[in-house]
Amino acid sequence: MPTNSPQHVQLGLQEPRVRALPLSRTSTLVDDVLDICDLASIVCDPWQEGALEAIASIDDDGQWAATEFGILVSRQQGKGNILLPYELAHLYLWPREDGAPKLIGHTAHEGPTAREAFRRARRIILASPILRAELVGGGKQTAQGITGISTGNGNMAIELKNGNRLVFFTRTGAAGVGVSFDVLIIDEAQHSPLTILEALLPASDASPNLQVLFTGTVPKEDQDGEYFEGLRDRGRSGGMDRTGWIEHTPVGSDDPDTAAKINLGDPQVWREANPGLGIRLAWKTVQDAWHRMGQTNPEAFARQRCSIWPSRKTEVAAKLSELDIEVWKRHADDAAGVAGDGVVLALALGRGGGYGTVGAAVRMDTETIAVEHLHTESGTRWIAPMIKKLKAEHGNALVVLDSKNAASVISALDRAKVKYLAMNLDEIAAAHTLFIEHVNAGLVPHRDQPEVTKSLELATTRNIGRAGVTWEQSDPTKPVSMAQAITWALWGVLKSEATPKKRTPPPPASRVIRRDDVERDEVNLATFQF
């Protein structure tokens, strides 16, 4: 019998290939989750228990170690046995610190996915006398339905006597907008466009102990999985203070060079990518998929069944853009700090909104514009207050940003009453061209900031429609946001100079009215027509 036959490889691997936990982790509340599994009669596989143990990590203060946690695993592995116990533990066992009711949101891209998750949660709760008794009204059957469970008008929610609620909805329209979640589950995270998440993620900022869980598969080229990709990059790089990441993928699948050499027909590769193989996913299902797709569409098999999602390939720095990095280095000047009148601030977020950068620029003389990197930090909650503070310190400085890039913090800026200038595609492309021209002409003095130089060295470009090009990340461990921020800040200086200031016209000169100017029959000067 061949050594690579399924009979010799019975189960999928239970340990993930990548398991990156937050640096702040000191313990875990996984025992609470397993207790709720016992009450709900949920039996978890070892890989599912391992994921729950990681997600439930806490820090020294008893807060969630990971404010965001991502899991990459292929379909049909049983990730519902991670999501449901996690949700039930929040609903029944982990109250808010301030005693207020907790709101847990479970959102999916597709309506059927959200409905199926709701139905399973309802079924599990109603089957457990202990869990059912905690529903509003004791979960009694009435003419209107079961108390504590809402299903009317598309509303899918479960509410306990203590006020805690678990709601299910799809990421469409205004669903979830304006609601402050304590816990947010982003299922089908391969569909995670910033235009949708910008309304959901900031809504959770008010929670005293926030946690957002992402679960998904590898996105297709036409799917907007930008946030999930950014989370993947942060997780793979490791060492993040508040980010956790788990992925069940074949060895070498994150490297674009080795990923291309993976033997997709090897059962060992199938094991590494499918922890539920032989348990919840039949071997013949994978075999049939390989026989059907192996010759005609191996890329789809690699994505759907093997979760192969290489990181973006790092290019040689000298070939990444038209910027003359040597000219940039020659014009480093410690006296070129950004200060004085006319400072422009620029905000740029990293891929997926996992970190942000603030840059600045100011006119030095008739030819030169100085630029500077002011601050880069993980997360986004710090951005609005810092921008507001810097804007005030620099005399109500102009703030420029790309509204799509900064989508996840726009609402926070609006709440902080921070006015900003949003750049359109043509302006973003023009900013890139102007920055390259000014740097290569030696007209951009700057303080010696090695992190900015490295960002420019590793920043490549991408097309943005017919408008031109802009900076693009080539290495997930080096934030291109620094290159973006100083580029946009320089453009902001030029934009402010080119925009004529509004002037209030002077009042009309005073006019003396003489008696001869008045009609003979008009004896009252108040009726004189000016």
pLDDT tens-digit readout, 262-300 = 999 999 999 999 999 999 999 999 999 999 998 889 999
User: Which has the closest alpha carbon to 91: 63, 124, 140?
Assistant: 124
- Percent of the chain past pLDDT 70, that is, above it, reads 84
Same domain, 453 and 333: yes
Comparing 89-98, 222-231, 316-325, which segment has the lowest mean pLDDT?
Answer: 316-325
Specify the pLDDT at position 318. Answer: 40
pLDDT at 513 over 60: no
> Which CATH number fits the domain that encloses residue 93?
3.40.50.300
Specify the pLDDT at position 117. Answer: 94
pLDDT average, residue stretch 331-350: 91
Residue 459: inside a domain, yes or no? yes
pLDDT band at 462 (very low <50, low <70, confident <90, very high): confident
Specify the pLDDT at position 363. Answer: 95
267 or 525, greater pLDDT:
267
pLDDT tens-digit readout, 194-207 = 666 666 665 555 67
Specify the pLDDT at position 207. Answer: 74
pLDDT tens-digit readout, 12-49 = 789 999 999 998 899 999 999 999 999 999 999 999 99
261 or 195, greater pLDDT:
261
User: Cα separation of 73 and 274, whole Å?
Assistant: 7
Same domain, 144 and 44: yes
User: Cα separation of 382 and 73, whole Å?
Assistant: 31
pLDDT average, residue stretch 440-463: 90
At 527 the three-state DSSP class reads: helix
DSSP type of residue 363: E
Specify the pLDDT at position 6. Answer: 45
User: Cα separation of 345 and 263, whole Å?
Assistant: 49
What's the mean per-residue pLDDT of the chain?
86
Same domain, 113 and 138: yes
Residue 367: inside a domain, yes or no? yes
Same domain, 322 and 262: no
pLDDT average, residue stretch 122-143: 94
Name, of 189-193, 312-316, 465-469, the range with top average pLDDT: 189-193
Residue 234: inside a domain, yes or no? yes
pLDDT tens-digit readout, 205-230 = 567 888 999 999 999 876 777 788 88
Residue 54: inside a domain, yes or no? yes
Specify the pLDDT at position 87. Answer: 97
Number of domains observed in the structure of the chain: 3
pLDDT band at 530 (very low <50, low <70, confident <90, very high): very low
pLDDT at 358 over 90: yes
Same domain, 289 and 383: no
Q: Identify any residues that bridge with 68 across adjacent strands, giving them in sequence order.
A: 212, 243
Structure tokens at 193: 């466009």
pLDDT band at 334 (very low <50, low <70, confident <90, very high): confident
DSSP H stretches of helix in 283-331: 283-293, 298-304, 325-330
Q: Are 251 and 33 in contact (CB under 8 A)?
A: no
Comparing 85-89, 90-94, 467-471, which segment has the lowest mean pLDDT?
Answer: 467-471
The residue among 285, 311, 337 that closes a domain is 311
The residue among 248, 272, 295 that closes a domain is 248
Residue 306: inside a domain, yes or no? yes
User: Which has the closest alpha carbon to 192: 428, 408, 470?
Assistant: 408
User: Cα separation of 433 and 186, whole Å?
Assistant: 37
Same domain, 321 and 395: yes
Specify the pLDDT at position 515. Answer: 55
Beta-carbon contacts of 392 under 8 Å, excluding residues fewer than 6 positions away, are: none
At 106 the three-state DSSP class reads: strand
Same domain, 52 and 195: yes
Same domain, 25 and 47: yes
Residue 149: inside a domain, yes or no? yes
- Percent of the chain past pLDDT 90, that is, above it, reads 60
User: Cα separation of 256 and 106, whole Å?
Assistant: 33
Residue 383: inside a domain, yes or no? yes
Same domain, 389 and 290: no
Same domain, 264 and 239: no
Q: Are 195 and 407 in contact (CB under 8 A)?
A: yes
Specify the pLDDT at position 404. Answer: 86
Same domain, 132 and 197: yes
User: Cα separation of 235 and 69, whole Å?
Assistant: 9
pLDDT tens-digit readout, 362-374 = 999 999 999 999 9
> Which CATH number fits the domain that encloses residue 365?
3.30.420.240
pLDDT tens-digit readout, 3-12 = 344 444 457 7
pLDDT average, residue stretch 109-138: 94
pLDDT at 490 over 90: yes
Specify the pLDDT at position 10. Answer: 59
Question: What is the domain range of residue 331?
Answer: 317-498
pLDDT at 122 over 50: yes
Specify the pLDDT at position 510. Answer: 56
User: Cα separation of 349 and 77, whole Å?
Assistant: 33
Specify the pLDDT at position 171. Answer: 80
Same domain, 364 and 225: no
Residue 174: inside a domain, yes or no? yes
pLDDT average, residue stretch 63-88: 94
Specify the pLDDT at position 93. Answer: 96
